[in-house]
Amino acid sequence: MNFLEEVPAIRRLETNRDDLFAVDIVGEVTPADAENLYGLLEAAYALHPHIDVLVRLTDFEGAQWAEISPQTFEQGRETALRHVKRCASVGGPDWTGLLGSELPEGAEIRHFPAGEEAEAWHWLGAQPRDTA
């Protein structure tokens, strides 16, 4: 399989809220996946100055952090701190501590084990939209 045939690790999830950005992360995140994620988030910020985020980690195999530009990573983190009100991570490792001490007033971040995905959706006041 060549680069153009690879399935993206980050896949958008449809929800019942326009101001909720939800993604499923499957497998290993490449630098191209990270760039795509930041672009999708920028589009969400343009539509809604403040959003909630749900990140579902399904069979997460890690990220190629060393290959992602430090400037890109830092810019994405700083922008998220300005725009994200609530963030729920579901499954995978609990990475919420990476931002916990830097959250602006009123912002919240929580990790939910994979078996508690319904609780994460409830916490955000949202539901996944059936795309079938």
Domains, in order of start, for the chain: 3-124 (3.30.750)
Enter the pTM of the model: 0.88
94-117, pLDDT tens digit by residue?
A: 887 766 577 888 899 999 999 999
From residue 110, give the alpha-carbon distance in Å to each of 48, 92, 96, 105, 116. Answer: 21, 13, 7, 15, 12
17-75, pLDDT tens digit by residue?
A: 999 999 999 988 888 898 899 999 999 999 999 999 999 998 888 888 788 888 888 88
Q: What does the pLDDT read at residue 23?
A: 96
At residue 7, does pLDDT exceed 80? no
Q: Taking residues 88-94, what's their average pLDDT? A: 92
Q: How confident is the model at residue 3 (pLDDT cuts 50, 70, 90)?
A: low
Q: In this predicted model, which residue has the larger pLDDT, 24 or 76?
A: 24
- Adjacent-strand bridge partners of 29: 63
Q: Pairing state of beta strands 20-29 and 10-13?
A: antiparallel
Q: How confident is the model at residue 1 (pLDDT cuts 50, 70, 90)?
A: very low
